[in-house]
C-alpha cells in the first residue's frame, strides 16, 4: 500500500470520528445551542478531512479545486445557517440549557 | 461488492422507514423535514442505480425548490387538521383503507416475487445500444440529453407545456403574497446571498454546458438557478413593477414557445415533427436548452411565490402585496 | 391542391396550434378570447383536412423526429385518432363560442376570462396530443397535461366547493396516473419499449404482464370514473363553470377511456383478459343502474347531468366483455360511436344547464317550473340532446346501443340486454322529470336576457347529436380504418 | 438478490406506502407528500428495471422518462399546494370537506 | 481502497439513519431543521466517497449541488418563521 493510501485511510478514519461525534452530539446534547455546536464541528472538520483525503488521491488540480469549492460552500453555508438558526432560536425565546 | 450490497440494503431500509414515518407522523412540520431528508437519500439511491442525471435533478429540486415549496406552503396553511364542525364521518375511501392496505401490500409483495422470476427469465438489453448507435447524429454527446432533446423531444416539449400550464394554473388561483415580512434581514444572510448567488449562476452554467457530454442539462440547471432566484427573494429582492407584466410572462413562456416554434418549423420543412436538420441539430439543442433553462428557473421560482403579480386588469391592489413587497 | 393537403401532417398541426394559441393567450391576456375563437375556428378545418389527408394517404403512423420506433415516439392518424380529433374539434368549437358569452371580457369576472382561454387551449392541445399518441409514456405526459388543465379549470369557479372538488380531482388523477405509470415502467423494464404496436406484438401472457395490465387498467378506470370509482366525478363536474363542465364530461373523461381502448385492443390482446372484461362489464352495468337512479334523485340539474355521465360511462365499459372474436368490431365501434354521441349530447346539456343557472340564478330543477315558455329554446336544446342520452333513434346513442345489444346476443351474453334496456328507461325517466317541471303551466316573469352566444351554439350541437345516427356511416367507416378489430359490424340481429 | 431487484422491490413498497397514506390521511399537505412518495416509488421501478446485467450503466431512456416524470410531479405538487392554501384561506380547513351537503351549496 | 470508501460511506449512512431520531424527537422545529442540515453535510461526504469509489465525477456534481443548495431550504425555514410568528390572522402555527 502506498504512502498516499495510508494517509488517506488515516484521514478518513479521522473524519469518521468527527461525524460520529457530530451525530452523537446531535442525539445526546441537551439543547439546541449545544447541538448546533456539535453539528458545526462535523460540518467543518469531518467533511474537511474527507476532502483532504480525496485531494491526496487526486491526480489533477481541477479535481482539487472542485473538492475545495464543495468544502468551502458547505463551510460558508453551514456557518451562516447555524448563525441564523441560533439567532432565530434566541428570538423565539429558547433559553440556553443550564445544569 | 458485498459492501455495496449492504450499503444498498441500509439505504433502502432507511428510505422505506422514512417514508412510513413521515407519512404516519402526527406533526406536519416533522413530516416536511423528514421529506427533505427523504429527498436527500433518494438522490443517493439514484447515484447507486447509476442514474446521475436523475440524482442531479433530485438534488437540485429536493434540496432547493421542493423544500421551499413545502415550507412556504406549510407556513401559509398551518398544520393542525381542522375539520368543519364536529363531523368526522369517514369517507367511503377512508373506511376502505384498512382492506386497501392489505389488498395493496399483498399484491405488491407477490409482484416483487414475480419480478424476481421474470428478471432472470428476460434480460432485455434496453435501448442503451440503440441510443449509442444514434448518438453521433443526435447533436449531443450524452445519452440522456440525446433522448430528452432529440429522440423523445416530443415528450420534453409537452413537459415544458406542463410546466407553463402549472404556472398559469397557479396564477389563476391566487395573487402573490409576500413570502415573509420585510423587517430585519440580517447582514450575514445578505452576505451569504451575495456570495452564493454568483456561484449558483456559475454552477448552473456549468451543469448546462456539461449536459452536452455528461450528466446535466436544462432542468437541473434551471432548478439551481431557481434556487438562486429564491434566495434573492428571501433576502428581499423584488422584481421591479414595470417588469412584472409582459416581460415576466415572456420569460416564463420563452422555453415552451421556442420549442413549439422549432417543432412547427421542422414540421414545415421536413414533414417530420422535431426532425432537426443534421447540420443544425447541435445548435438547435443548445438553443432549446438555453431558453428552457431560463424559463424553468423563472417558472419554479414563481411557483414558490405562488400567485400572479398584481396587474392593471383586475381591481387595484395596495402595493404592499406586490410580489414581495416594495423593498429592493 | 390535393398535393398540399396530403403533404401536410394536419393531425400534428392540430396539437401544435392550440398549444401555440395557449401561449399566445397567456402572453396577450386582453386578446385571449380572440385568439381562442380563431383557434376554435381553425381546428375543425384542420380536422377536415386531416381526415381528407388520411383518406388519400396510406401511412397512418409516423414517429416524432423520424427515429425508428423503439426509440422515437409513434404518432398515429388512425381511425380512432381522427374521429376523436374531429369530435373534439366540433365540440370544442361550440364550447368556445359558448364560453365567449359565458366569460364576459369586461366586468367583474374578467380575470376568469383571462385565465380560461390559455387553460382551455392547453387542455384542447393536450387532448389532441393524447388521441394521436402511440407511445405509452407519451400518453402519460399528455394525460397529465389534460388533468392539470382540468384541475385549474374546475378551480376557476373560485368558490370553496369548486376548490375542494378540484383538489380532490387532482389527488384522484394523480393516483390513477401513477398506477398507470407503474405499469408502464414494468412493461418497459421487461420489453425495453413503450411503443403500443411493438408491445402488442411482443407481449406474452406472463404473470408480470398481467400485473402491469391490472395496474394500468385500474389507474385508467379511476380516471374515467367507472363505478365505484366515480365518487369524485359529480362534484368535479358540477362545481366547475358551465363550459368547463361541458369540456370535462364530453372530452376529458374520454381521454382515459381512449387510452383504455388502445390498451385493451392493441397492447393486451395476447393476455388473458376475459375475467377482467367481465369485471369491467359488471361494474359498467352497476354504473348504468346506479348512475341513472342517482340522477333520478337529484334536485339540481347539473348534478343530474353529472350522474347521467356516470351511467353513460357504464355503457362505455360494456365494450370490454362484449368484444369477442365475431362481435369485436360491433362492440368496438359501438363504444366509439357512443363516445362521439355522448360528447355532443352531454356538452349541449351542460351548456344548457349553465345558461339556466345563469338566467334563473339557480339550477334547482324545481326552479324550472314553467321555464318552457320564456326560455323555451333552452328546453328544446335540452330535449334534443337528451334524445341521444336516452338513445332515441336516430341519435348516435341509439346506434351505439343497438350495436351493443347485437353484440350481446351474438356472443350469448343476454344478461346485458335487460341492463341496457332498463338504463334506457331510467334515462327517459330522469329526463322526463326535468321536462315535466319545465312544461308546468306556471306563469314565469322576468328572466334576464340570455346572451346570444349562450343560446344558439348548444342548439347546433344538440341537433348534430340527435341526427348523428343519420350520418353515422361516414364516421364509422373512418373509425374502422386502421382499427384493431376486423370482424364485420353486425347491424342486424344475428343468431 | 441482485441490487436492481432490491431497488425495484423497494420502489413498489414505496408506491404502496404512498398509496395507503394518500387514501387514509386527511391533511392536504400530507396527501401531497404521499403522492410524491408514490411517484418516487414509480420512478425507482423505472430506473431499477432499466439496469440490465452487471454493467452498472443504466439505460438512458428510462432516465429521461424519469426526468420528465419528476418535472410533471413537481408541477402537480406546486399546483396542489397553491390550491390547498387557497382552500384554507376560504374555509379555514386544511382538509377536504367531507360533508357532502354543505359543499354543494 | 474502494472497500474503504464504501465502508466509510456505509457508516456515514448509518449515522444519518441514527440521526433521524433527532428529527423524530424534536422537540422544536428548529431542532428538526438542524438535523436535516447535518444530513446535508453527511450526504455530501457520502457522495464524495461514492464518487471516488466509482470513479465517476458526475457524482461529485451531485455533491456540489447539495453543498450549494441545502442552505436554501434552511434560509426559507428561518425567513418563513417570520410570517408564522407575527401574523395571527390567517396562519395557524402548529409546528410544535
Neighbours of chain A (3+ CB pairs under 8 A): B, E
Residues of E with Cβ-Cβ distance to A42 under 8 angstroms: 38, 41-42
Peptide bond into C228 cis (omega under 30): yes
Mean pLDDT computed over C73-91: 93
* Domain ranges, residue D100: 3-104
Q: Among B240, B246, B222, which Cα is nearest to B296's?
A: B222
> Which of B272, B280, B284 should we substitute to test contact with C (largest number of C Cβ atoms within 10 Å)?
B272
Looking at the domain assignment, is residue B247 inside a domain? Answer: yes
**pLDDT score of D102 more than 70:** no
Which carries the bigger pLDDT value, residue C423 or residue B306? C423
Q: What is the pLDDT of residue E33?
A: 83
Q: What is the pLDDT of residue B317?
A: 38
CA C354-C379-C352 angle, to 5 degrees, is 15
- Closest CA of chain B from D99, distance in Å: 8
| Inter-CA distances, C373 with B48, B162, C369, C380, Å | 72, 46, 10, 11
Mean pLDDT computed over A24-40: 79
Which carries the bigger pLDDT value, residue B55 or residue C209? B55
Residues of C with Cβ-Cβ distance to B313 under 8 angstroms: 29-30, 110-111, 114
Element (DSSP H or E) covering residue C223: helix C207-223
CA D34-D39-D42 angle, to 5 degrees, is 130
| Inter-CA distances, C402 with B275, C346, C398, D47, Å | 45, 20, 6, 47
| Residue B122 half-sphere exposure toward CB, CA atoms < 13 A | 20
The ipTM is 0.93
Looking at the domain assignment, is residue B171 inside a domain? Answer: yes
Element (DSSP H or E) covering residue C74: strand C74-76
- How many CB atoms sit inside 10 A of residue C149's CB? 30
- Kindly report, residue by residue over B105-144, the tens digit of the pLDDT: 666 666 666 666 566 555 566 777 788 888 888 888 888 9
The model's confidence at residue E83, banded by pLDDT at 50, 70 and 90, is: very low
Mean pLDDT computed over C205-226: 89
Mean pLDDT computed over E34-61: 88
- CB atoms B80 and E94 under 8 Å: yes
Looking at the domain assignment, is residue E60 inside a domain? Answer: yes
Is residue A80 less than 8 Å (CB to CB) from chain B? yes
| CB-closest option in D36, D47, D98 to B46 | D47
Q: What is the pLDDT of residue B95?
A: 59
Cα–Cα distance, C400 to C286 (Å, whole number): 19
Looking at the domain assignment, is residue B175 inside a domain? Answer: yes
B325 strand-pairing partners: B323
B window 189-218, beta carbon within 8 A of E: 189, 192, 196, 199-200, 203, 207, 210, 214-216
Residue whose C-alpha cell reads 404592499 in the numeric block: B320
Torsion of CA E29, E33, E35, E40, to 10 degrees: 170
The model's confidence at residue C106, banded by pLDDT at 50, 70 and 90, is: low
**For chain E, how many structural domains are there in total?**
1
Torsion of CA B187, B188, B193, B199, to 10 degrees: 140
Angle between helices A3-28 and E2-25 (to 10 degrees): 10
Residues of D with Cβ-Cβ distance to C141 under 8 angstroms: 68, 72
Looking at the domain assignment, is residue E90 inside a domain? Answer: no
- Kindly report, residue by residue over B215-247, the tens digit of the pLDDT: 888 999 999 999 999 989 888 888 887 788 889
Looking at the domain assignment, is residue B49 inside a domain? Answer: no
Residues of D with Cβ-Cβ distance to C181 under 8 angstroms: 42, 69
Are the CB atoms for E35 and E23 separated by under 8 Å? yes
> Which of D23, D61, D69, D104 should we substitute to test contact with B (largest number of B Cβ atoms within 10 Å)?
D61
Kindly tell me whether chain A and chain D come into contact, counting contact as 3+ Cβ pairs under 8 Å: no
Peptide bond into E27 cis (omega under 30): yes
Kindly tell me whether chain E and chain C come into contact, counting contact as 3+ Cβ pairs under 8 Å: no
Torsion of CA B196, B197, B203, B207, to 10 degrees: 130
- CB atoms E75 and B192 under 8 Å: yes
**pLDDT score of E89 more than 60:** no
Is residue C160 less than 8 Å (CB to CB) from chain D? yes
The model's confidence at residue C357, banded by pLDDT at 50, 70 and 90, is: confident
Is residue C129 less than 8 Å (CB to CB) from chain B? yes
Q: What is the pLDDT of residue A29?
A: 79
- Kindly report, residue by residue over D4-33, the tens digit of the pLDDT: 888 888 898 899 889 888 888 888 899 999
Helix (H, G, I), strand (E, B) or coil at C360: helix
Cα–Cα distance, B80 to D27 (Å, whole number): 8
Torsion of CA C448, C452, C455, C457, to 10 degrees: -160
Give the list of residues 6+ apart from residue C459 with CB closer than 8 angstroms, or none.
C348, C377, C380, C381, C384
Is residue A68 less than 8 Å (CB to CB) from chain E? no
- Kindly report, residue by residue over C446-465, the tens digit of the pLDDT: 667 777 788 888 899 999 88
Cα–Cα distance, D94 to B288 (Å, whole number): 40
- CB atoms D65 and C137 under 8 Å: yes
Residues of E with Cβ-Cβ distance to A26 under 8 angstroms: 19, 22, 34-35, 38
Cα–Cα distance, C148 to C186 (Å, whole number): 25
Give the list of residues 6+ apart from residue A40 with CB closer than 8 angstroms, or none.
A78, A79, A82
- Kindly report, residue by residue over C117-159, the tens digit of the pLDDT: 999 999 999 999 999 999 999 999 999 999 999 999 999 988 8
Q: What is the pLDDT of residue E64?
A: 92
- CB atoms D42 and C137 under 8 Å: no
Q: Which residues of chain B have pLDDT under 70?
A: 1, 79-125, 181-184, 311-328
Long-range Cβ contacts of C441-445 (<8 Å, 24+ apart)? C441/C370, C442/C369, C442/C370, C443/C370, C444/C369, C444/C370, C444/C371, C444/C373, C444/C374
The DSSP call for residue C75 is E
Residues of D with Cβ-Cβ distance to C140 under 8 angstroms: 69
Q: What is the pLDDT of residue E2?
A: 83
Burial environment of residue A24 by CB neighbours within 10 A (0 to 12, 13 to 18, 19 or more): middle
Q: Which residue of B has its CA nearest to E80?
A: B180
| Inter-CA distances, B259 with B224, B286, B292, C12, C173, Å | 21, 12, 8, 15, 27
Q: Chain centroid to CA B146: how far?
A: 20
**For chain B, how many structural domains are there in total?**
1
Domain ranges of chain C: 1-272, 282-495
Which carries the bigger pLDDT value, residue B98 or residue C398? C398
Q: Above pLDDT 70, what percent of chain C? A: 94
- Kindly report, residue by residue over C28-63, the tens digit of the pLDDT: 988 899 999 999 999 999 999 999 888 887 777 888
* Domain ranges, residue E72: 2-85
Are the CB atoms for B189 and E75 separated by under 8 Å? yes
Q: Phi first, then psi: give them for residue D95, nearest 5 degrees.
A: -130, 165
Are the CB atoms for C120 and C97 separated by under 8 Å? no
Q: What is the pLDDT of residue D99?
A: 44
Q: What is the pLDDT of residue B175?
A: 85
C window 46-105, beta carbon within 8 A of B: 62-68, 70-73, 75
Looking at the domain assignment, is residue B189 inside a domain? Answer: yes
**For chain D, how many structural domains are there in total?**
1
Q: What is the distance between the terminal CA atoms of chain C, rounded to a whole angstrom?
A: 48
**pLDDT score of C283 more than 90:** yes
Q: Which residue of B has its CA nearest to A88?
A: B186
Q: Among C56, C40, C185, which Cα is nearest to C117's?
A: C40
Element (DSSP H or E) covering residue C62: strand C61-63
Listed in sequence order, the DSSP H helices in chain B are: 2-24, 28-48, 52-59, 67-77, 92-121, 128-134, 143-146, 153-173, 187-210, 218-234, 246-270, 281-305
CATH of the domain at D62: 1.10.287.3510
Q: Share the mean pLDDT of chain A.
A: 83
Amino acid at each position: 500500500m502506498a504512502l498516499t493510501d495510508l494517509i488517506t485511510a488515516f484521514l478518513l478514519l479521522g473524519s469518521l470520528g468527527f461525524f460520529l461525534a457530530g451525530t452523537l452530539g446531535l442525539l445526546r446534547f441537551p439543547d439546541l445551542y449545544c447541538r448546533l455546536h456539535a453539528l458545526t464541528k462535523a460540518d467543518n472538520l469531518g467533511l474537511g478531512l474527507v476532502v483532504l483525503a480525496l485531494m491526496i488521491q487526486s491526480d489533477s488540480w481541477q479535481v482539487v479545486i472542485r473538492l475545495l469549492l464543495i468544502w468551502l460552500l458547505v463551510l460558508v453555508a453551514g456557518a451562516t445557517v447555524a448563525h441564523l438558526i441560533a439567532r432565530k432560536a434566541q428570538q423565539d425565546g429558547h433559553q440556553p440549557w443550564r445544569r | 461488492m458485498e459492501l455495496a450490497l449492504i450499503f444498498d440494503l441500509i439505504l433502502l431500509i432507511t428510505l422505506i422507514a422514512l417514508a412510513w414515518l413521515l407519512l404516519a407522523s402526527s406533526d406536519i412540520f416533522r413530516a416536511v423535514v423528514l421529506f427533505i431528508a427523504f429527498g436527500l437519500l433518494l438522490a443517493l439511491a439514484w447515484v447507486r442505480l447509476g442514474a446521475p442525471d436523475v440524482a442531479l435533478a433530485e438534488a437540485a429540486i429536493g434540496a432547493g425548490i421542493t423544500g421551499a415549496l413545502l415550507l412556504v406552503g406549510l407556513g401559509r396553511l398551518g398544520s393542525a387538521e381542522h375539520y368543519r364542525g364536529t363531523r368526522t364521518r369517514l369517507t367511503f375511501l377512508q373506511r376502505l383503507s384498512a382492506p386497501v392496505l392489505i389488498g395493496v401490500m399483498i399484491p405488491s409483495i407477490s409482484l416483487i416475487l414475480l419480478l424476481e422470476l421474470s428478471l432472470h427469465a428476460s434480460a432485455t438489453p434496453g435501448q442503451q445500444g440503440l441510443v449509442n448507435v444514434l448518438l453521433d447524429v443526435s447533436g449531443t454527446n450524452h445519452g440522456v440529453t440525446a433522448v430528452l432533446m432529440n429522440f423523445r423531444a416530443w415528450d420534453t416539449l409537452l413537459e415544458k407545456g406542463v410546466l407553463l400550464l402549472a404556472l398559469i394554473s397557479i396564477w389563476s388561483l391566487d395573487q402573490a403574497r409576500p413570502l415573509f415580512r420585510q423587517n430585519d434581514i440580517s447582514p450575514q444572510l445578505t452576505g451569504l446571498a451575495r456570495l452564493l448567488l454568483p456561484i449558483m449562476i456559475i454552477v448552473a452554467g456549468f451543469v448546462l454546458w456539461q449536459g452536452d457530454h455528461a450528466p446535466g442539462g436544462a432542468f437541473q440547471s434551471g432548478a439551481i438557478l431557481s434556487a438562486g432566484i429564491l434566495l434573492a427573494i428571501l433576502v428581499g429582492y423584488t422584481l421591479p413593477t414595470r417588469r412584472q407584466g409582459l416581460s415576466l410572462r415572456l420569460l416564463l413562456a420563452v422555453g415552451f414557445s421556442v420549442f413549439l416554434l422549432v417543432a412547427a418549423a421542422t414540421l414545415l420543412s421536413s414533414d417530420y415533427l422535431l426532425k432537426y436538420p443534421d447540420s443544425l441539430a447541435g445548435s438547435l439543442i443548445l438553443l432549446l436548452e438555453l431558453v428552457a433553462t431560463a424559463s424553468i428557473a423563472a417558472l419554479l421560482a414563481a411557483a414558490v411565490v405562488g400567485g400572479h403579480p398584481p396587474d392593471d386588469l383586475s381591481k387595484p391592489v395596495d402595493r404592499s402585496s406586490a410580489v414581495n413587497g416594495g423593498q429592493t | 391542391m390535393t398535393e398540399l393537403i396530403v403533404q401536410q401532417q394536419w393531425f400534428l398541426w392540430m396539437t401544435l396550434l392550440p398549444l401555440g394559441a395557449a401561449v399566445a393567450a397567456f402572453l396577450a391576456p386582453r386578446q385571449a378570447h380572440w385568439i381562442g375563437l380563431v383557434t376554435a375556428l381553425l381546428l375543425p378545418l384542420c380536422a377536415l383536412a386531416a381526415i381528407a389527408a388520411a383518406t388519400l394517404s396510406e401511412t397512418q403512423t409516423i414517429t416524432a423526429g423520424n427515429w425508428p420506433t423503439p426509440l422515437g415516439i409513434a404518432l398515429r392518424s388512425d381511425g380512432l385518432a381522427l374521429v376523436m380529433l374531429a369530435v373534439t374539434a366540433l365540440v370544442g368549437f361550440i364550447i368556445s363560442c359558448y364560453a365567449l358569452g359565458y366569460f364576459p371580457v369586461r366586468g367583474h369576472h374578467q380575470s376568469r376570462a383571462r385565465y380560461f382561454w390559455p387553460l382551455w387551449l392547453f387542455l384542447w392541445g393536450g387532448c389532441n396530443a393524447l388521441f394521436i399518441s402511440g407511445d405509452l409514456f407519451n400518453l402519460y405526459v399528455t394525460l397529465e397535461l389534460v388533468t392539470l388543465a382540468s384541475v385549474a379549470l374546475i378551480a376557476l369557479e373560485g368558490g370553496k366547493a369548486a376548490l375542494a372538488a378540484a383538489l380532490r380531482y387532482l389527488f384522484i388523477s394523480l393516483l390513477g396516473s401513477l398506477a398507470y405509470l407503474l405499469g408502464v415502467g414494468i412493461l418497459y423494464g421487461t420489453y425495453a419499449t413503450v411503443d403500443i404496436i411493438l408491445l402488442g406484438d411482443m407481449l406474452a401472457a406472463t404473470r408480470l404482464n398481467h400485473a402491469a395490465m391490472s395496474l394500468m387498467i385500474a389507474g385508467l378506470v379511476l380516471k374515467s370514473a367507472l363505478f365505484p370509482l366515480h365518487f369524485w366525478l359529480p362534484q368535479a363536474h358540477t362545481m366547475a363553470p358551465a363550459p368547463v363542465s361541458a369540456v370535462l364530461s364530453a372530452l376529458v373523461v374520454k381521454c382515459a377511456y381512449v387510452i383504455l381502448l388502445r390498451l385493451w385492443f392493441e397492447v393486451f390482446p395476447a393476455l388473458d383478459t376475459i375475467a377482467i372484461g367481465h369485471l369491467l362489464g359488471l361494474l359498467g352495468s352497476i354504473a348504468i343502474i346506479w348512475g341513472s337512479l342517482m340522477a333520478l334523485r337529484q334536485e339540481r340539474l347539473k348534478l343530474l347531468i353529472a350522474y347521467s355521465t356516470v351511467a353513460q360511462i357504464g355503457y362505455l365499459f360494456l365494450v370490454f366483455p362484449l368484444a369477442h372474436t365475431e362481435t369485436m368490431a360491433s362492440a368496438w365501434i359501438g363504444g366509439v360511436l357512443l363516445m362521439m354521441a355522448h360528447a355532443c349530447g352531454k356538452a349541449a346539456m351542460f351548456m344548457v344547464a349553465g345558461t339556466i343557472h345563469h338566467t334563473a340564478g339557480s339550477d334547482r330543477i324545481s326552479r324550472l317550473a314553467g321555464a318552457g315558455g320564456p326560455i323555451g329554446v333552452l328546453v328544446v336544446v335540452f330535449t334534443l340532446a337528451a334524445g341521444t342520452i336516452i338513445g332515441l333513434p336516430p341519435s348516435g346513442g341509439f346506434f351505439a346501443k343497438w350495436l351493443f345489444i347485437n353484440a350481446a346476443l351474438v356472443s350469448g351474453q343476454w344478461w346485458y340486454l335487460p341492463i341496457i334496456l332498463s338504463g334506457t328507461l331510467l334515462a327517459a325517466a330522469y329526463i322526463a322529470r326535468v321536462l315535466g317541471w319545465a312544461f308546468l303551466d306556471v306563469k314565469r316573469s322576468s328572466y334576464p336576457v340570455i346572451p346570444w352566444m349562450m343560446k344558439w351554439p348548444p342548439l347546433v350541437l344538440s341537433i348534430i347529436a340527435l341526427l348523428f345516427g343519420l350520418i353515422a356511416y361516414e364516421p364509422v367507416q373512418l373509425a374502422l380504418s386502421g382499427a384493431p378489430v376486423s370482424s364485420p359490424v353486425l347491424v342486424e340481429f344475428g343468431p | 438478490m441482485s441490487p436492481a431487484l432490491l431497488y425495484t422491490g423497494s420502489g413498489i413498497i414505496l408506491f404502496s406506502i404512498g398509496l395507503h397514506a394518500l387514501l387514509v390521511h386527511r391533511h392536504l399537505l400530507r396527501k401531497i407528500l404521499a403522492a410524491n412518495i408514490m411517484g418516487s416509488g414509480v420512478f425507482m421501478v423505472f430506473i431499477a428495471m432499466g439496469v440490465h446485467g452487471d454493467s452498472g450503466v443504466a439505460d438512458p431512456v428510462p432516465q429521461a422518462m424519469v426526468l420528465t416524470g419528476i418535472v410533471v410531479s413537481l408541477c402537480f405538487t406546486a399546483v396542489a399546494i397553491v390550491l390547498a392554501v387557497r382552500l384554507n384561506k376560504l374555509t379555514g380547513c386544511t382538509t377536504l370537506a367531507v360533508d357532502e351537503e354543505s359543499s354543494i351549496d | 481502497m474502494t472497500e474503504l470508501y464504501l465502508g466509510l460511506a456505509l457508516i456515514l449512512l448509518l449515522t444519518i439513519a441514527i440521526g433521524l431520531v433527532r428529527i423524530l424527537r424534536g422537540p422544536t422545529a428548529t431542532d428538526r431543521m438542524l438535523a436535516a442540515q447535518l444530513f446535508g453535510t453527511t450526504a455530501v461526504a457520502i457522495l464524495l466517497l461514492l464518487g471516488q469509489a466509482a470513479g465517476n465525477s458526475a457524482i461529485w456534481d451531485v455533491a456540489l449541488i447539495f453543498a450549494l443548495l441545502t442552505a436554501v431550504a434552511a434560509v426559507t425555514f428561518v425567513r418563513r418563521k417570520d410570517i408564522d410568528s407575527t401574523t395571527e390572522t390567517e396562519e395557524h402555527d402548529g409546528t410544535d
